Amino acid sequence: MIRSEILREIAPILRDELVVCNIGLPSQELHMIDDQPTNFYMLGTMGLSSSIGLGLALAQDKTVISIDGDGSVLTNLGTLPTIANNVADNFILLIIDNGSYGSTGDQPTYAGKKTSLTAVAKACGCDNVVEVQDKDLGPVLQAAIDGKKQTVIVCKCDSGNIKLPVITMDPVVIRDRFMKAVAG
């Protein structure tokens, strides 16, 4: 499965949760598949989905799911020790690991070569790290939400993209709508 197929499959699970979604195609795909006020779309700033999600989870009680990519986690690898050492049990980091930089033309990442982000997350001290194959993600994600334990999910999948438009919503509108959903 490619990322857009995975997002389509887990959209019903994501719908009721606060979601911080990674820059580029992941946000565009989630926006097209199931736009919700509870989705915070990143329009720039590669790498910070996990950091924004962790800050949000530490600041309030609702479950937060950061959707990240292997390339973006590699950009901000320092996030994993911070997550490990500041446990928020309402935080789930979902790394869609397709071994490539999807938004820029599927150039390979090191996660698609010798580097295992699952092993890196464990070595950083993250307590609940689950590696899962794309087709099995739904139940694993639901269990992580229901388990109320900070969890890092590394979802291995195929690289590949669909054609879709950029998000034209104003960033302040995205943010304001999201903050109302957080507070609501």
Partner 1 sequence: MSIDKKIVDDLVANDVSFITTVPCKQLAGVIEEVEARAEIFHIPSNKEDEGMGLCAGAWMGGKRPAIIMQNTAIGVTINTLATLIQYYRMPLPMLISYRGELREPVACQVEMAVHTKALLAQMNIPTYHFHKQSDASELDMILKYTFMCNKPVAILTDANFWGGYGDQ
Residues that bind partner 1 (CB under 8 A): 20, 40, 42-45, 47-60, 64, 76, 78-79, 81-82, 86, 171-172, 174-175, 178-179, 182-183
Cα(50)–Cα(83) distance, integer angstroms: 8
* Closer Cβ to partner 1, 1 or 18, answer by number: 18
- Shortest separation between residue 48's beta carbon and partner 1, angstroms: 3
- Shortest separation between residue 71's beta carbon and partner 1, angstroms: 16
* Closer Cβ to partner 1, 105 or 184, answer by number: 184
Query: Six-digit token pair at 180?
Result: 């109302």
Q: Are 28 and 48 in contact (CB under 8 A)?
A: no
* Closer Cβ to partner 1, 146 or 172, answer by number: 172
Cα(6)–Cα(25) distance, integer angstroms: 13
- Shortest separation between residue 32's beta carbon and partner 1, angstroms: 21
Cα(31)–Cα(26) distance, integer angstroms: 8
Residues in the chain: 184
Cα distances from 117 to residues 24, 31, 51, 80, 142, in angstroms, run 21, 26, 16, 10, 21
* Closer Cβ to partner 1, 148 or 175, answer by number: 175
* Closer Cβ to partner 1, 20 or 130, answer by number: 20
Cα(66)–Cα(18) distance, integer angstroms: 8
- Shortest separation between residue 22's beta carbon and partner 1, angstroms: 12
- Shortest separation between residue 138's beta carbon and partner 1, angstroms: 25
165 burial (CB, 10 Å; 0-12 / 13-18 / 19+) is exposed
